[in-house]
Amino acid sequence: MQKEYSIIVGGAAGLGSKKAGNIIAQLFSNLGYNIYVYEDYQSLIKGGHNFSLIRASSKPVAAIRERVDFVLALDEPTAKLHFNQLKDKNSIVYNADKFSFKYGIPVLAGQITKEYGGIDIMQNTALVGAFAKVIGLDWAYAKKVFKKEFSVSTELNINIAQSAYKSSKTLISIPKISNKIYPILSGNQAIAMGALAAGLEAYVAYPMTPATGILNYLSLVDNITVFQSENEIAAANTVMGFSFAGKRAMTGTSGGGFALMNEAIALSGQSETPLVIVDGQRMGPSTGVPTYNSQSDLLHVLSAGPGDFERFVVAPGDANEAFYYSALAIDIAWKYQLPSIIITDKDLCEGTYSCDLEYKSSIKSKLWNGKGEYLRYQNTKDGVSPMAFPGNVKAVVKGTSYEHDEFGVSVEDSKKIKEMQDKRSKKYREFHKEVSKLKGVNVYGNKKSKTAVIAWGSVKGSAIEMAEKLNIKLIQPVILSPFPKKQILKAINGVDKLILLELSNSGQMAKLLSCNGINVTKKVLKYDGRPFTIDQLIKIK
């Protein structure tokens, strides 16, 4: 039987609700629970209302429920906003130095923090310390987690947590379970680690929510070059410069920044220079709602950049897939010398997951053997030209945005223009053949069901549980370009009713499917910036 708990910890920006949520996630993770954390925050440095919703389960999870077992309130708005979500009205742990509340367990977080000489934000430590007692954790166990989570002011935080622990009371006893303990990572961290697994040597980006976490994570990694560019145009072109020089590089952004990269994407297509971009979707258009979610960049990503050229596009649905498909995107970009795009979304980028990471690559780039005269755009049998890089004394290496001959010299002759277009077409045919052998579509739930839902990106998590609950099929496209039509057709074979789940107000996946002769029966769309909850989806008929 599935054991699970949902906990909300919230407060104004600046009160440390996210850090508190991370510690709670680790408390449960180290007991053997699978973790998913949803982050909800406003575009504010101070004030407003932020919260983390932690779901801990004996089974893998990647979605949230509407009802929760506990609320930890750092301020009064949190208590008022989330009180009705509680299964038990007394399961609220609140900061009694900031407000009084009729129900729950008061914690004098401010007083305890002051007694030990801590700063105001450490009141979150006091609240989590009290919560550890509420759920029946042994202090020695809780102390180990606190010690690991606080690299700064470690003893001070432990003392504050222990004092709050002693002053609290136990409501339930959370059992340890026998699951393997997996590391918990955000989607952004998984993307970064996947890129590193594929040999990433440089990362260049201009900060843009929700992809900024990739930049932050990689800035702490040794032996790679990481820097912040002045804008997204510079970021994409700098990545192209690294690739031209033989260094595997990547950039990350959101929809508005991705729009600025259109010329670089087309330059990658023409110059056959690898370019890898992460597009972390958020609510749009334009600046939209910067810290909330949407899946409305799909058609833009698939068509960005003028002219005829191919691109590899993947849409991972959780952190494990983010790791694997980010590595794959880099390998494919370098083998076929084209743009690769990892399209994610806010909830995946900033959500936290239990992860089991693995990537083994057999995809190799084609490098020049040093024999004969070097032709950067050599018209080979498979259309893939061997690469050499500046600094090789035997090769003159050219890269150009103009149509060109095999040397890389610009051409306007009709015959030569067609020859190079045909050369790239051969390459794209080989690209399609290889990608068609990769797993581009996942199927879950009742595979014999005549009703199926189709979902992509972070919607995967809630859609899986919906499919299991309703005993229907879930189809999840992961590779979106080249479109895995044969795999999709196989997945929908025998299906009478196909329901699209998407976080947009237009149903862009339905349009993509329609272009490939596949029509959905019904669209279930959500476009308020928030994710589908399991409770919402199981009501769909």
Q: What is the pLDDT of residue 1?
A: 59
Q: If we measure between CA atoms, which residue out of 523, 520, 460 comes closest to residue 496?
A: 520
Residue 14 has pLDDT above 70, yes or no: yes
| pLDDT tens by residue, 213-235 | 999 999 999 999 999 999 999 99
Query: Do the bridges between strand 202-205 and strand 4-13 make them parallel or antiparallel, or are there none, so unpaired?
Result: unpaired
Q: What is the pLDDT of residue 127?
A: 98
- How far apart, in whole angstroms, are the C-alpha atoms of residue 158 and residue 128? 11
Contacts for 222 with CB less than 8 Å, ≥ 6 apart: none
- How far apart, in whole angstroms, are the C-alpha atoms of residue 488 and residue 466? 20
| pLDDT tens by residue, 38-73 | 999 999 989 999 999 999 999 999 999 999 999 999
Angle between helices 17-29 and 123-134 (to 10 degrees): 30
Q: What is the pLDDT of residue 528?
A: 97
Could you tell me the pTM of the whole model?
0.96
Q: What is the pLDDT of residue 480?
A: 98
b/e burial code for range 289-324 (CB count within 10 A of at least 16 → b):
ebbbbbbbbbebbbebbeeebbbbbbbbbbbbbbbb
| pLDDT tens by residue, 177-189 | 988 999 999 999 9
- How far apart, in whole angstroms, are the C-alpha atoms of residue 116 and residue 159? 7
Residue 98 has pLDDT above 80, yes or no: yes
- How far apart, in whole angstroms, are the C-alpha atoms of residue 496 and residue 225? 51
Residue by residue, DSSP assigns 226-242 as: EEE-SSHHHHHHHHHHH
The structure tokens listed for 55 are 């779901």
- How far apart, in whole angstroms, are the C-alpha atoms of residue 72 and residue 96? 11
Q: If we measure between CA atoms, which residue out of 114, 169, 131 comes closest to residue 24?
A: 131
- How far apart, in whole angstroms, are the C-alpha atoms of residue 457 and residue 442? 12
Residue by residue, DSSP assigns 339-404 as: EEEEEEEHHHHH-EEE------------B--S-SS--TT---SSSPPPB--TT-TT------SS-B
Mean pLDDT taken over the chain: 97
Query: Domains of the chain: which residue ranges?
Result: 4-167, 184-354, 441-537
Confidence tier at 366 by pLDDT (50, 70, 90) = very high
Hey, what CATH topology would domain 441-537 get?
Rossmann fold (3.40.50)
Q: What is the pLDDT of residue 541?
A: 67
Alpha-helical (H) ranges within 247-310 are: 255-260, 262-271, 298-303
What sign for the dihedral angle of Cα 20, 23, 25, 31?
negative
Cβ atoms 448, 417 nearer than 8 A: no
| pLDDT tens by residue, 416-464 | 999 999 999 999 999 999 999 999 999 999 999 999 999 999 999 999 9
The matching CATH number, chosen from 3.30.1300.10, 3.40.605.10, 3.40.50.10540, 3.40.920.10, for 4-167 is 3.40.920.10
Provide, rounded to the nearest whole percent, the portion of the chain with pLDDT above 90: 97
Confidence tier at 515 by pLDDT (50, 70, 90) = very high
Q: Do domains 4-167 and 184-354 have the same CATH topology?
A: no
Q: What is the pLDDT of residue 362?
A: 81
Give the CATH number of domain 184-354. Answer: 3.40.50.970
